[in-house]
Amino acid sequence: MFSKSIKTVSSFICIVLFLTSHLLAQDTIQYITPGRENAAVQQQKPYVILISADSFRYDLAEKYNAEFLKKISTKGVKAVSMRPSYPSLTFPNHYSIATGLYPSHHGIIANTFYDKKRNQFYTIRNKKAVQDSSWYGGVPLWVLAERQKMLSASFYWVGSESHIDGVDPTYYFNYNEAIPIDRRLEILKQWLELPPGKRPHFITFYFPEVDHAAHRYGTNSSQTHDAVQLIDHSIQKMNEMCAQLNLPINFIFVSDHGMANVDTLHPIRRPTVIDTSKFVIANGGALTQLYAKNKKDIKPTYRKLKKVAKDYDVYLKKRIPKRWHYSKKDDSLNRIGDIILVAHPPKVFGFSNRPVSAGQHGFDNYLPEMQATFYAWGPAFKENYEIGSFTNINIYPLIAHILGLNIDSKIDGDLKVLEGILK
């Protein structure tokens, strides 16, 4: 009897916990900041929809015959590929696209990292950290727009739910995967049908499907094929829907990085020369950061690591390759590890016993498999125009220019890189 009631109580607690976490994870509310209106001058401006399909590698439209994307990219502007910023991870790169800054300059230097001064970890699975504006540097595009009295909206983007500078997009959602894609497209349409004073001119839109499929099953799987097709059909629907509105809408379709198939059976285990009592470790598949509790331990550990390193490179923070913009002098918020370990694909770090995902990214941003996608079409863009590869920090000044927004802080991107794709 006693044990039965304990069982009943514990299953009741389980149900409550399940429901709470389920409901929390399913925050599907649209947040709207009241009282905002486009200034008269902004109502004359064009529109930009910035779409990201996570992990949509530069070659996936071709590989899986994404008919609509192939057609529209040939009609508009297509980059051979787009280089992500280092490290080729989701959060650093979405936030680089949104701010025009390298990760070392905007502060989101990895999906998981440690901040010595705060004595805290930032991780993308911790919603509290993700929504805490104090982690985020730079001026994201929605903040730039709203400050200049141009309304913005977001169907997800890294940082968009974080109240950066106290400014949210006028319309936004906390990230969730419960709202079906057709419903999201419908809401996008409703935004664009609002009266001119209330209609957002800058909109972000995010697709996680290719990332999920390619991580789990690898890039050569039928699941990745299906995810590419889903995105292709969704962008076609979005495009057709927007065409009915008779508005000057520009589309920019990007991804944050590519994806590599990795050796899931033989991950690189934690090198035994690392004394875990002396370092805080932030470990990812492609990149591991070591933060010394005491500076004097950095060099001896570095030397030992150099001797044993196989299938990865070891760098002291001050000697990280310049092309990554990720060394000590770039590290404006002091978040990069004192020593970093960089895996060579197909090898990845696996310090725990958790299974290793089939597809991974985060590697050297110059590797072919890490290259991302950039297509743009709409009234602002040239037609039938192909360009070479460029780095994603240059999208920010391009969008600011199309929307006629003044950039009032220092950025790493330069309008010169992409201005040639405009009419």
Residues that bind Zn ion (CB under 5 A): 54, 90, 256
Closest approach of Cβ 233 to Zn ion, in Å? 21
Other C-beta atoms closer than 10 Å to the C-beta of 313 total: 15
Provide the minimum distance between the beta carbon of 55 and Zn ion in the complex, in angstroms, as a whole number. Answer: 5
* Cα 94 from Cα 391, distance rounded (Å): 13
φ/ψ of residue 314, rounded to 5? -120, 130
Least distance between Zn ion and beta carbon 90 (Å): 3
Q: Are 192 and 47 in contact (CB under 8 A)?
A: yes
User: Who contacts 240 (Cβ-Cβ below 8 Å, separation ≥6)?
Assistant: none
Active site residue 373: no
CA angle 161–394–94, rounded 5-degree value: 30
* Shortest distance (Å) from residue 359 CB to Zn ion: 11
Provide, rounded to whole angstroms, the least separation between the CB of residue 398 and Zn ion.
Answer: 21
In 3D space, the residue among 169, 90, 164 whose CA is nearest the CA of residue 392 turns out to be 90
Q: Where are the alpha helices (DSSP H) in 49-132?
A: 60-63, 67-75, 90-99, 103-106, 127-130
Written as six digits, the tokens of 363 are 């590697």
* Geometric angle at alpha carbon 371, from 219 and 115, rounded to 5°: 100
248 neighbors 379 (Cβ within 8 angstroms): yes
Q: Of 250, 231, 260, which Cα lies nearest the Cα of 395? A: 250
Which is nearer to Zn ion, 301 or 365 (by Cβ)?
365
Q: What is the rounded CA–CA span in Å between residue 342 and residue 348?
A: 9
Task: Give the Å distances, CA to CA, from 9 to 15, 16, 20, 167, 218.
Answer: 10, 10, 16, 44, 42
Give me the residue label for tokens 């104090």: 134
3-class DSSP state for residue 8? helix
The nearest distance, CB 35 to Zn ion, in angstroms, is: 35
Cα gap 16→13, rounded to integer Å: 5
Q: How far is CA 381 from the centre of its chain?
A: 24
Strand 171-173, strand 120-123: pairing:
unpaired
Measured from the CB atom, is 206 or 385 closer to Zn ion? 206
What is the edge-to-edge ordering of all strands in the sheet holding 171-173? Answer: 30-32, 171-173, 152-155, 202-207, 47-53, 249-254, 374-377, 77-79, 385-387
Q: How far is the CB of 157 from Zn ion (least distance, A)?
A: 12
Sign of the C-alpha dihedral computed for residues 213, 395, 236 and 388 taken in this order: negative
CB of 245 to Zn ion, least distance (A): 30
Q: Which is nearer to Zn ion, 89 or 235 (CB)?
A: 89
The residue whose Cβ lies closest to Zn ion is 90
Which one from 20, 28, 90, 219 is the annotated catalytic residue?
A: 90
Show which residues are catalytic: 90
